[in-house]
Amino acid sequence: MASKKKEVQLQAVILTQEQWEEMLLKKGLTVVDVYQAWCGPCKAVLSLFRKLKNEYGEDDLLHFAVAEANSIPSLLPFKDKCEPAFIFCVDGKMVDIVRGANGPLLCRKVIEIVERERRIVAGEAERPELPELLFVEEKESDEELVEEEAVEEEKYTVVIIKPDAVEAGKVEEIKQTITEAGFNILAEALRTLTDEQVRDFYQDKSEELDFEEFVSFMLSGPCHVLIVSEGKQTHEVMPYLQELAPGELKEGEEGEEEEEEEEEEEEEGYRKPPSEAPASLKGFLEGQAMSDLCDVHDRMEEASRELAFLFPDFSKPKKGPALEKTVALIRPSLLRERRDSILKRIEEDGFQIAMQREIVLTEEQAREFYKEHEGQDYFPALLEQMTSGPTLALALVRENAIQKWRALLGPKIVEEAKEQCPTSLRAEFAVDNAPINQLHGSSTSEQAAKEMEFFFPVQNTFAVIKPTAFEEHKDEILQEVKEAGFIISEMKETHISSEMAAQFYKNQEGKPFYDQLVNYMSDGPSMVMILTKENAVEEWRQLMGPTDPEQAKETHPTSLRAKFAKDILRNAVHGSSNAEHAVQSINFVFGDIDLEDLKHKYVYV
């Protein structure tokens, strides 16, 4: 009871808007952990908060609280987000935020603000006019809101498939067992846990005699981690083998039938599903003799910790049609003649261009991509067309994207498209004298996945937050990087030497600004990163924007350089110009690192 009381004293519980407004009137700093009912408060930072309270709370200027996003109108913009959000409240305002369980950043901000408050209370400093943070809630239709209120809150469980099971190739078997039981796998990733994460996730085992041996085992290789929905299940949509109704078997045949079924199941290695939908995933896997292969963490506080650490950007799925990706190709002749108009038409028809890549295919690449068409009469013309100049590959996103893009394209033969579907893209954007149509689309989800990997392979790129931007906008830039879908696979703060800067800008050597650029880059601390994503090199360059911030503001107003650059020298960020340059810079800064392993940790979304 004593420990429970202490925890209540550490973090006040805010349940209503009125309590929220009362909290804002408290003297000093209050750090509020904003959480979801389905995810729970973040337990990973409790020991840090307790330490800070002990060291900086004696003059009653430091307070901690927890608040559920859905129950307080001021916090509705945070609903359905599993990533922890810590809001800093001072003098009646929300003045700062830290997203994610970032212990060092939380510690630094708490100490800075408490020290400032102490100086203000002592009359040694005046209170600065701090702007209040504004958060915009994503709007939903009335129908969606009504539907969401009526839906039972889903429960999320984290399944950690152990290193030996991963090595033995058991992952697909475990996933199949879970989905066949009617549970939904919402996200998955291969993760190599840290020593700190293992000890945190398995606190309940810490008193066992072989705990250190268990920690070593969990660190011995990668785990495969799943987020599984255990909420209101619809098991009937995935029925098991139907049991025959009484009377459908003749007398004396029932036992014989059962024996034959059991023999067949044993021979095929088939595991018979339960006759009723399982009540919990943990109990179900134990019944399937799989508890030695994986751990199921289904308590709210466990799921909260693990989701925050392993899937910081995971959001509760929204109702409505699921978004889908497909690959579209604009072939060379059309790209040369009507690039802008076809891109405009694609967006007008409701597709979002998530990624794009302009590429001149070699004959070998074209043959590999169209190998299923080899031997067809049109194959030589197709090969010639695809190697005649740049092709624009697009990753298109919308609900039911594959089918809708195929329908919009129209028939493959241009003459048929003009006669049967004159408003289709292949009819409207036909190119005279071109022997084949000028647009391509994936035909199935399996083909779309393969084509995504072909044109938008997962890459690593090298990125730098330059000295001035690092000092003034580091947290904002890192947040934009995450929101753009990059995984920050490696990151470190460093003082770039002149030698390192010369390596980054090797291709600029001899230009008038070269020396000034190298000197600036080595003038103060920077943040160097390895970013991982599909088509990462080009995607990072798109996010950075043009080198000149004035041009960036005109042509790419949402880019990092448009938002955070001072001038063309202090233009906020740097990135590799191509994949080869990225590998060279990464090896130069981070040393011997397994880049392929970083790619495998990325999950296509």
Element (H, E) at 460: strand 458-465
Cα 435 to the center of its chain, rounded Å: 42
Sheet with 439-441, edge to edge strand ranges: 352-359, 391-399, 323-330, 439-441
Spatial separation of the C-alpha atoms in residues 38 and 334, rounded to whole Å = 50
CA 222 to chain centre: 19
Which residue is it, tokens 């919308």?
Answer: 398
Is there a contact between 229 and 151 (Cβ–Cβ < 8 Å)? no
- The residues near 165 (Cβ < 8 Å, ≥ 6 apart) are 171, 174, 224, 293, 294
CA dist., res. 81 & res. 93, Å (int): 22
What is the longest distance spanned by two Cα atoms in the chain?
Answer: 97
CA angle 572/583/223 to nearest 5° reads: 100
Looking at 297, 440, 473, 556, which residue is catalytic? Answer: 440
561 marked ligand binding residue: yes
Find out whether 282 is annotated in a ligand binding site: no
Three-state DSSP at 38 gives coil
Q: Distance between CA 120 and CA 415 in Å, rounded?
A: 78
CA distances from 324 to 227, 229, 343, 400 (A): 20, 20, 19, 6
Distance CA(91)–CA(29), nearest Å, equals 8
Cα angle 443, 448, 449 (rounded to 5 degrees) comes to: 150
DSSP state of 450: H
For the question of residue 235 being annotated catalytic, the response is no
Phi, psi (deg, nearest 5) at residue 468: -65, -45
Please indicate whether residue 440 is annotated as part of the active site: yes
466 labeled part of a ligand binding site: yes
Q: Which of 63, 297, 574, 581 is catalytic?
A: 574
The residues that bridge with 344 in the sheet, in sequence order, are none
**SS3 label, residue 545:** coil
CA distance 504 to 528: 11
Picking from 289, 305, 155, the residue whose alpha carbon sits closest to that of residue 232 is: 155
Of 68, 58, 65, 84, which is closest to residue 25 (Cα–Cα)? 65
Q: Within 13 Å, how many C-alpha atoms sit on residue 56's CB side?
A: 24
- Distance linking the first and last C-alpha atoms of the chain: 45
* Beta sheet of 458-465, edge-to-edge order: 487-495, 525-534, 458-465, 573-575
Half-sphere exposure (Cβ direction) of 150: Cα atoms closer than 13 Å: 7
Torsion on CA atoms 501, 359, 389, 343, rounded to nearest 10 = -110
Q: Binding residue per annotation — 547?
A: yes
**Residues found in the chain:** 605
Catalytic residues: 440, 574
Binding site members for ATP: 466, 513, 541, 547, 561, 571
